[in-house]
Chains A and B, each alone.
Chain A
Amino acid sequence: MSQDVLLLGLISAVWAVLALAYALVPMLNMPGSALIWGSGAGLFLGLALWVRRG
């Protein structure tokens, strides 16, 4: 797997973890956070797959 795809995947993974944290940890509850970062995680995963397929 190329560095380009790996880095896009890394972004997706970090955003997904943060989205989960914002969604599941009550003290981090900030309305809209989980949705934005979760959508972003999905988006960057999609971009990584698009790049991989070329």
Chain B
Amino acid sequence: MTPNTHSSLSDSLAALAPGDRRLIRSLFIAALAALALGLLLGLWVALARAGWARPDLPETGYRLLTLHGVAVFFDWLTLAQAGLLLVLAAQERKAPLSLAWMGWAGLVVMLVAFVLHLLGTVWGNPLLYDGSPELVAEASQGALLFYSGYGALALGLVLLALPGLATLVKARKAGSGSWSALGFGAFAWAGLLLVSAIALANTFLPAILWAAGWGGMPADHATLWHLLFHNMHYLPLLGTMLAWYLLLPELTGARSIFGSGFSKLVFCLYLVFVPPTSLYHMFLEPGLDPMVLVLGSLLSLFIGVPTIAAFLVVMTSLEAHGRARGARGGLGWLKALDWSQTATHSLAAAVINLALGGVLAFVLIQEKLAGLLSDTFFVPGYFHFMTLGVVTLSLLTVAERIAPALGGRGGSVAWARYLPWLITLGLFLFGVAGVVAGSQGMPRRVLDASYEGLAPTSWVLLSWIIGIGALLMALGLGLMVARIGAAYLGFGPKALAAEQPQAALEELALKQGAWGASLAVALLLTLITAATWGAFALMRSLPVIAIGGAGH
């Protein structure tokens, strides 16, 4: 929804140097490979929990879980976001990238990071993705490799962010002296990428020094990890909103009816709310001042404000444009969207998953519930809605959309439209069963949820449902990744010339009443209230023992 989308995304990518296009293509190929690996490992873990697969040794299962987390949460998301940043920079600049060599260096460093993580996990003790030093024991060489993987990741993030930043600064200078909303959002987002690199170094440098024998055991690793993770929560959420802003004019021709200045303010809100909302991570620390609990609870309510604001801008603009083009009735503007495109289905599924994940997120950050739920399966039950159902689906949509412009294929196939809904169905089973299991106290990081027959019967049943959900998710996502990956490698049907979206009717759109998004947010707030009330009621009725810990 930028004001300068007169040329399509394909035209912007065509204006890049051939090497720039190869760089973006390579980033997405590497990202898709990481996602495919992480997906297989995650499926194996879910099947093990359901009792349908048995890794040879418990350590093997935890190694799979560790690599699943690292491959998906760090490698896939970082590489795909780096690709998105360069696409956004290209869209703003409409000319070759600056410092592209640094992007190549960043890609190489990211691959090194992955190899280090792989070696460290296989050779040392499986530390899970937070790399707790308490689990290292005597295996310090493996831990050194694993921690160094995060060190390399920090360097890779810096190297990948700088070309985006430099290109955007040049775009601003070459243009009218100010960015489009999308350009500003991309620049601020790249700044947060750099802060995340600092947070990575801050968390893992003490661990690297300790594992190398040059320093003491890090005393605050868990807290530093929480800070890093807080950044890593916001980073892909802002990236997702930027992806939606990028895609919607491409798909629908609609532009923001709120103006560029307002959209910039919304993107700025993400950054403004990052530090204050981090306070709720302290809920897991013992002996907190009651004032901190109150303050943290109040501030945590702001965590969804920027995303809700961005959602309102996107959806209200979409509805207003739909009505300006003649859509009638409550949902006529939705029906009028181009449902022949896979991207429309993917983004619609992402919106639904955002609502489900958002409701559960607000339950999880309640001060009274955080300690009870943080080490239970409630957490993966909720965050897969966000990481897979929202962020991954949105990033994959961008990857699919730009594949032909990067020299790949990308022809439309009808069955691909069902994949986002198959993934969402799997997520729903996985998430709902996970949340129910978590509410009953089922731990998240165990491979045998039956506890050799000692666990409640419901845990076994819920683990089966989680396994079925994981199978459906893996099937849908695996097919989607295979299709997009094949397109990047030059296989599959050729893309036809993209149909130009209808021209924006901005003046007419401004005169339309568009309440759909506002009503959806009102419904969301009602659901959040109901879910929180329900969670408290459930907790009071169960003999759950708080196991606390430093989950997230």
Residues of A within 8 A of B (CB): 2-4, 7-8, 10-11, 14-15, 18-19, 22, 27-28, 30-33, 35-37, 39-40, 43-44, 47, 50-51, 54
Contacts and interface: CB of A to CB of B under 8 A. Distances in A.
8 contacts: A4-B187, A18-B275, A27-B289, A30-B278, A30-B279, A31-B219, A31-B223, A40-B275
Please classify how large the interface on chain B is, using the bins under 10, 10 to 19, 20 to 34, 35 or more.
35 or more
Contacts of B480: none
B198 A11 contact: no
Nearest to A31: B220
Contacts of A44: 191, 271
Contacts of B281: 30
Contacts of B203: 32
B110 interface: no
A15 to B, nearest CB: 6
B520 interface: no
A11 B223 contact: no
Interface in B279-307: 279, 281-282, 289, 291-292
Nearest to B260: A3
Contacts of A33: 227, 275, 278
A51 B291 CA distance: 39
A15 B227 contact: no
Given A11-B272, A33-B278, A50-B165, 20 more contacts: A2-B177, A4-B179, A4-B264, A7-B264, A11-B268, A14-B272, A15-B275, A31-B219, A31-B220, A32-B202, A33-B275, A36-B195, A36-B227, A37-B275, A40-B275, A43-B194, A44-B271, A47-B191, A54-B169, A54-B173
A3 B261 contact: yes
Interface of B: 165, 169, 172-173, 177-179, 184, 187-188, 191, 194-195, 198-199, 202-203, 219-220, 223-224, 227, 231, 261, 264-265, 268, 271-272, 274-276, 278-279, 281-282, 289, 291-292
B191 A51 contact: no
Given A3-B264, A32-B227, A8 B272 contact: no
Nearest to B184: A4
A41 B219 CA distance: 25
Contacts of B224: 31-32
A27 B292 contact: yes
B227 A51 contact: no
Given A2-B177, A3-B261, A27-B289, A32 B187 contact: no
Given A14-B275, A43-B191, A43-B198, A51 B223 contact: no
Tell me which of B227, B274, B275 has the highest count of chain A C-beta atoms within 10 A of its own C-beta: B275
Contacts of B191: 8, 11, 40, 43-44, 47
A12 to B, nearest CB: 9
A35 B275 contact: no
Given A3-B264, A31-B220, A18 B276 contact: yes
Nearest to B225: A32
A27 B272 CA distance: 22
Contact of B187 (A22, A31, A35, A47): A47
A9 B276 CA distance: 17
Given A3-B178, A14-B275, A44-B271, A27 B199 contact: no
A40 to B, nearest CB: 4
Contacts of A47: 165, 187, 191
Nearest to A53: B169
Contacts of B276: 18
Contacts of B194: 43
B394 to A, nearest CB: 23
B158 to A, nearest CB: 11
Given A4-B172, A51-B172, A30 B223 contact: yes
A47 B194 CA distance: 11
Given A4-B178, A7-B265, A14-B275, A32 B195 contact: no
A40 B177 CA distance: 25
A30 B265 contact: no
B271 A11 contact: yes
A10 B275 CA distance: 13
Contacts of B291: 27
Contact of A7 (B184, B219, B282): B184
A37 B191 CA distance: 12
Contacts of A51: 169, 172, 187
B47 to A, nearest CB: 37
Contacts of B202: 32, 35-36
